[in-house]
């Protein structure tokens, strides 16, 4: 009896824990709240397969309960042996045909979706973006536009955006659960492709979903979905972003000089050649620094001084500049906002 109670208690604990955990999560990071073509396709398949599962479960449990009650050994009939039968053609056909039908109901839309999601090229002049993952950040290069961003991917609502994806180091995986399915990014020449088609404007979170090192959990990014007109304006603003533009404040100007002397061997601003570090053209739009910190001047300064404290395993060197210089660079970076179209305006 005691062992049974113990098991029950463990089950109860596990059950309530999973209930509590199911309440966790971010609104714009959920496959259960689809706002994109691919995500809706996958959501419908999930609902269909769960519905089939529930149907099978209910039917099996009903038969199970019926047999359990109807054919129990009854009092006074302990020695009764029921009529022995072997094989029943009708029953066997029924329980073979029903699963086949259920599998077909599931398989036809699944295969359709697989082919639909694999349509990752089109002849029209559409938006193509090269996605490059690295430990532990994302870069997005807009083909033909000479625009690069990191950590933030701007796309227009209602248009199909084609992605070509690869990794600069280990395998990562690109996932914006509210907009589309997920796709691995591989090192080497093995490029993967997929598309995004967002149905609502807004800011969505994406996440690396392949364990890729100590800061895997910090490897997130945002997808900013704006109207086609706003997207066009954003593209123009980004194209015109001048890496040499003089910042407004004296401190930021000094920060710019320090940045140019110490940081630009790895980082690019505007259409400068791709560095081994993130492109920082619109750094001022970021909602987080290092995937975890609020983008305040103090936090950015501390991050520049000691990156590994906040994002273990990343490749940015520590103490390239002193504390005063890091503060100035932080001020410079915070004012890098080339466009009025920002994640805030999209929300």
Give the footprint of ligand CUA on this chain (CB under 6 A): 133, 136, 172, 208, 210-212, 216, 219
Nearest-approach distance from CB 213 to ligand CUA, in angstroms? 7
Give least dist CB 26 to ligand CUA, A.
Answer: 17
* 30 within 8 A of 180, measured Cβ to Cβ: no
Tokens encoding 155: 């796309």
**Minimal distance in Å, beta carbon 316 to ligand CUA?**
16
Q: Which CB sits closer to ligand CUA, 208 or 326?
A: 208
Q: How far is the CB of 112 from ligand CUA (least distance, A)?
A: 30
* Exposure string over 293-316, b if 16+ CB within 10 A, otherwise e: bebeeebbbbbbbebeebbeebeb
- Are 176 and 131 in contact, with CB atoms under 8 Å apart? no
Closer CB to ligand CUA, 147 or 223, in the complex: 223
Count other Cβ atoms within 10 Å, centred on residue 159.
Answer: 15
Token digits for 216?
């895997």
Q: Which helix (H) or strand (E) holds 219?
A: none
Q: Please state the φ and ψ torsions of residue 258, each to the nearest 5 degrees.
A: -60, -40
What is the residue whose two structure tokens read 């039917």?
A: 59
Find the shortest distance in angstroms from Cβ 214 to ligand CUA.
Answer: 10
> For ligand CUA, which is the closer residue by CB, 141 or 230?
141
Measured from the CB atom, the residue of 277 and 338 that comes closer to ligand CUA is 277
Per-residue burial over 197-225, b = 16 or more CB atoms within 10 Å of its CB, e = otherwise: bbbebbbbbbbbbbebbebbebbbbbbbb
Quick one: 213 or 284, whose CB is closer to ligand CUA?
213
Instruction: Give the nearer residue to ligand CUA in terms of CB position, either 255 or 291.
Output: 291
Query: Are 291 and 215 spatial neighbours (Cβ–Cβ below 8 Å)?
Result: yes
Q: Minimum distance from CB of 186 to ligand CUA (Å)? A: 12
Compare residues 185 and 302 and give the one whose CB is closer to ligand CUA: 185
User: Smallest distance, Å, CB 175 to ligand CUA?
Assistant: 10
DSSP-assigned beta bridge partners for residue 220:
207
Q: Using alpha carbons only, give the angle 50, 41, 31 rounded to the nearest 5 degrees.
A: 70
The residue among 166 and 328 lying less far from ligand CUA, judged by its C-beta, is: 166
Q: Is the separation of the CB atoms in 220 and 228 below 8 Å?
A: no
Rounded least distance, CB 133 to ligand CUA, Å: 6
């Amino acid at each position: 009896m005691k062992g049974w109670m113990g098991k029950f208690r463990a089950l109860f604990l596990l059950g309530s824990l999973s209930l509590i955990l199911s309440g966790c999560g971010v609104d714009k990071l959920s496959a259960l709240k689809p706002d994109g073509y691919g995500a809706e396709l996958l959501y419908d398949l999930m609902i269909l397969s769960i519905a089939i599962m529930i149907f099978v479960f209910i039917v099996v449990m009903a038969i199970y309960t019926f047999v359990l009650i109807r054919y129990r050994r009854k009092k006074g009939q302990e020695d009764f042996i029921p009529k022995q039968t072997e094989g029943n053609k009708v029953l066997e056909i029924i329980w073979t045909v029903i699963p086949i039908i259920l599998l077909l109901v599931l398989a036809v839309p699944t295969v359709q979706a697989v082919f639909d999601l694999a349509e990752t090229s089109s002849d029209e002049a559409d938006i193509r973006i090269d996605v490059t993952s690295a430990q532990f950040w994302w870069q997005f290069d807009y083909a033909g536009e000479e625009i690069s961003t990191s950590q933030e991917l701007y796309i227009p609502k209602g248009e199909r955006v084609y992605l070509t994806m690869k990794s600069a180091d280990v395998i990562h995986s690109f996932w914006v659960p509210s907009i589309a399915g997920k796709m691995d990014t591989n090192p080497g020449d093995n490029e993967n492709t997929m598309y995004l088609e967002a149905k609502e404007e807004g800011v969505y979170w994406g996440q690396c979903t392949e364990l890729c090192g100590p800061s895997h959990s910090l490897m997130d990014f945002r997808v900013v979905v704006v109207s086609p007109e706003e997207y066009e304006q954003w593209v123009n603003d980004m194209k015109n972003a001048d890496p040499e533009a003089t910042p407004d404040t004296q401190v930021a100007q000094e920060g710019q000089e320090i940045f140019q002397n110490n940081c630009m061997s790895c980082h690019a601003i505007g259409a400068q050649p791709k560095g081994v570090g993130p492109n920082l053209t619109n750094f001022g739009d970021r909602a987080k620094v290092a995937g975890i910190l609020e983008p305040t001047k103090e936090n950015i300064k501390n991050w520049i001084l000691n990156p590994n404290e906040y994002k273990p395993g990343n490749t940015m060197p520590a103490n390239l500049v002193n504390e005063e210089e890091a503060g100035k660079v932080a001020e410079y970076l915070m004012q890098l906002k080339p466009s009025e179209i920002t994640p805030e305006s999209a929300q």
